[in-house]
Amino acid sequence: MTLKLMSRRELLRTLSAAGLGSAFATRAVADAAGAAPAAGGKIRELTPMSPTLRALYPARLVNGKVIQPERPLPIFAETDVLVVGGGPAGFAAAVAAARAGAKTTLMERYGYFGGLWSGGIVLVVISTHAKENGEKVKVMRGIGDELCERLTKIEGAIINQAPGKHNPTTDPEATKFMMDEMIAEAGVNVVLHSWATDVVMEGNAVRGVVFESKSGRQALLAKVVVDATGDGDIFAAGGAAFEQRLHAIGLVHRMGNVDRAELDKLKTAGFKSIGSLEPLASVRWVNLRGPSTDGLDVKELSRLEMEHRRSIWKRIQTLRNTPGGEKLFLLQTAPQLGVRTTRLLEGVAKLTAADAKAGKKCADVIGVGGAQGANHVGWPIPYGALVPQKLDGVIAAGRCIACDTKWVEDMRLIAACLITGHAAGAAAAVAVASNCQPRAVDVAKVQDVLRKQGAYLG
């Protein structure tokens, strides 16, 4: 067949003008996935296909302003619990909500789960333990710990996950694999490559999100949304109060052939550390702090991505030109830029450094955070720190929950994000089952679900 040389929009306009609407709209795809159709090769027709709404409602430049017309959006799906963001918090939230019986959907802008943990190549799960009555106690239990335990069954997937140890380090691909397994086993519906860009409001409640993907702009409706975007994208779009902070933004990289490098020689040459241990002896990951700036500013993100990559490349070349480092190579720069903190929710309650350091108990505890070096008491986390002050329909999880500046460094660690994610998922499922808003949830019921799912509440 011959494809007419007319843009899709032109074609649709012509068909609409002729009153033919979508009936004759077609698209051609190559037969084999990934194969480009060779000249004269087989082309498969998919017919009919409704025109994308994007083509019918284009933004227009009017008097120097870009105007996006009002338009209906297709509803992609309806779910009980929608978790937006598949980092440590979102992963744990989705598994918890699904295991608690809620129809659960997990949306992620990239093609894999784990967020900064796997995609940011931040591999050590800090604060899994605390010190209580002189004893080292594991506080990261439940879903986060289950993932780590399951990784111990795979050669080369995790280190330091054993009795007496704390702060395990995981292999990023093994982490993604195991997250996929647990998400699939729990029956979570997955929407990857989808970026939530706005919320759907009903009165004061968030009732879903608008998201963009290669399938166009669509809506996904939910009874409760868990904001696990790390940046509070959902509660901010819904109008919840938040504080915005600047923080160091880095880019992690990994080096290969470390087991073939002569580390003593490199040390003598002035390279005190060449990275942190990974489960595979040949690989190390290298953290980078970077400048303190705005993680919500796309210009800054673009600038830093390129600057960091350039400086990492140069560092590796220097290492390769140093005696002892000739065999090292740059294995990977992280697919995700290392944004540490942006928005922090103004919650019904707030984690404070003073309360956390004192290990202050709270009646609405939904988890206990650990100590970075397993050397001080755990800090009970109140459910209220996950719930917006006024906005309904949303529960926050992970590095954007309500917290004072002095405790951000502890609250945003992976173990704590797994813990608050687990709690948010359980609370969302309870809110759905109770037909109430997250703020009105009976916390005793949430605590009951969490205990049954193996979480530690102190």
Interface residues with ligand FAD (CB under 6 A) are: 84-90, 107-110, 115-117, 120, 122, 124-126, 195-196, 228-231, 233, 250, 252, 287, 338-340, 398-399, 412-414, 417
Instruction: Show the DSSP H helices in 272-413 as ranges.
Output: 298-320, 353-358, 408-411
Number of helices and strands in the chain (H, E): 12, 26
What's the min distance (Å) between Cβ of 421 and ligand FAD? Answer: 6
What's the min distance (Å) between Cβ of 252 and ligand FAD? Answer: 6
Which tokens in the block code for residue 306? 């390129």
Nearer to ligand FAD, 93 or 362 (CB): 93
Q: How many CB atoms lie within 10 A of CB 195?
A: 16
Please tell me the distance from the alpha carbon of residue 452 to that of residue 180, in angstroms, as a whole number.
22
Nearer to ligand FAD, 12 or 418 (CB): 418
Q: Which residue's structure tokens are 């995700």?
A: 336
What's the min distance (Å) between Cβ of 143 and ligand FAD? Answer: 13
Nearer to ligand FAD, 16 or 276 (CB): 276
What's the min distance (Å) between Cβ of 86 and ligand FAD? Answer: 5
What's the min distance (Å) between Cβ of 37 and ligand FAD? Answer: 32
Is residue 59 within 8 A of residue 67, CB to CB? The reply is yes
Nearer to ligand FAD, 209 or 349 (CB): 209
What's the min distance (Å) between Cβ of 240 and ligand FAD? Answer: 15
Using N-to-C axis directions, what is the helix angle for 88-99 and 142-151, rounded to 10°?
110
- Residue 368's identity, in one-letter code, is V
Please tell me the distance from the alpha carbon of residue 255 to that of residue 132, in angstroms, as a whole number.
38
Nearer to ligand FAD, 176 or 350 (CB): 176
- Residue 92's identity, in one-letter code, is A
Is residue 253 within 8 A of residue 332, CB to CB? The reply is yes
Nearer to ligand FAD, 233 or 364 (CB): 233
Nearer to ligand FAD, 328 or 424 (CB): 424
Name the β-bridge partners of 84: 107, 227
Q: How many CB atoms lie within 10 A of CB 375?
A: 12
What's the min distance (Å) between Cβ of 38 and ligand FAD? Answer: 36
Count Cα atoms within 13 angstroms, Cβ side, for 23: 6
